[in-house]
Amino acid sequence: MLPVNIMEEKLASAQSGDSQAREDLIAAYRSFVMRAVVKVCGRGMEWSRDDELSIGLIALNEAIDRFDDQRGVPFPAFARLIIKSRIMDYLRQQSRHNNLSGVSLDDFDGQNLSFIESSQAWDLYLQQETEREREEEIGRYKKLLNDLEICFDDLVKASPKHRDARATLLRASKLLSDERHLFSQLMSTGKLPVMALSRLAGINVKTIERGRKYIIATSIIWHFCEDFLYLCSFVKLPEKEARN
């Protein structure tokens, strides 16, 4: 997936008619589509074999056109809901399954979930699903933090007040999330590899130590971004860092 800054820029361009930006988005979210479709269908998929994946790509393209940031739902989460509804509709038409991933195909009293004729019904579905997903996401995130002995109150106190300090810690947390060995060390030991991260990021050890909880908390969001689509939409690198 693209960094939030870049994704928002590409999305705006695509909605304004930039075909290359649209192609870039679809290419960048191809794996995202695969995972979303697999989750709904509950089985492995292959691009050359399964129609569901083509339907998923069509749904992604539709999400690009229909996305409106005024809804307060991040684009990846919005796209995932559209992919889910399109696939469920396809499966209903094919009469393959009665129940998938704990979600009844008879939701909404049998109405078509993939852009229901009634815009009111779609808005209700979007509202209900986003509320449910947000609640589940926060619960999973809270558990991960608790396992590392961090609570939400700690994050409020640990969040940098100054923009430059925040940018420095965000850069360190992004490097940590991308460095497989260091992130695995964090998750297995519960301790931030301060010295190694200091060398990797070129940031003073004391700065890393002071920002330990903030770095850990944001690195988890980035590393498991697809599990935390709503939270991830709020964590942005400075423009220059995002493009590197």
pLDDT higher than threshold 80 for residue 120: no
- Average pLDDT on 56-66 reads 95
Closest CA to 230 of 147, 138, 165, 158: 138
pLDDT at 76: 95
In this predicted model, what pLDDT tens digit does every residue of 38-48 receive, in sequence order?
Answer: 999 999 999 98
Cα angle: 16, vertex 75, 227; to 5 degrees: 155
Question: Packing angle between helix 4-15 and helix 75-94, nearest 10 degrees?
Answer: 60
Tokens in use for 113?
């979930």
> Rounded to two decimals, what is the model's pTM?
0.80
The yes-or-no verdict on residue 203 having pLDDT over 80 is yes
User: At 100, which helix (H) or strand (E)?
Assistant: strand 99-100
Higher pLDDT, 122 or 114: 122
User: Could you tell me how far CA 116 lies from the centroid of its own chain?
Assistant: 25
Give the largest CA-CA distance in the chain.
60
Q: How far apart are CA 15 and CA 12, in angstroms?
A: 5
Domain ranges in the chain are 4-117, 151-242
Helix (H) or strand (E) holding 70: none
- Give Cα separations from 231 to 85, 137, 182, 221 (angstroms): 22, 8, 22, 7
The pLDDT of residue 152: 87
Q: pLDDT digits over 83-109, tens only? A: 998 998 888 887 644 554 444 444 433
CATH for the stretch 4-117: 1.10.1740
Q: How many residues does the chain have?
A: 244
Q: How far apart are CA 228 and CA 231, in angstroms?
A: 5
pLDDT tens digits for range 144-182: 999 999 998 888 888 888 889 999 999 999 999 999 999
CA-to-CA separations, 94 to 4, 43, 79, 98, 105, in angstroms, rounded:
36, 16, 22, 11, 12
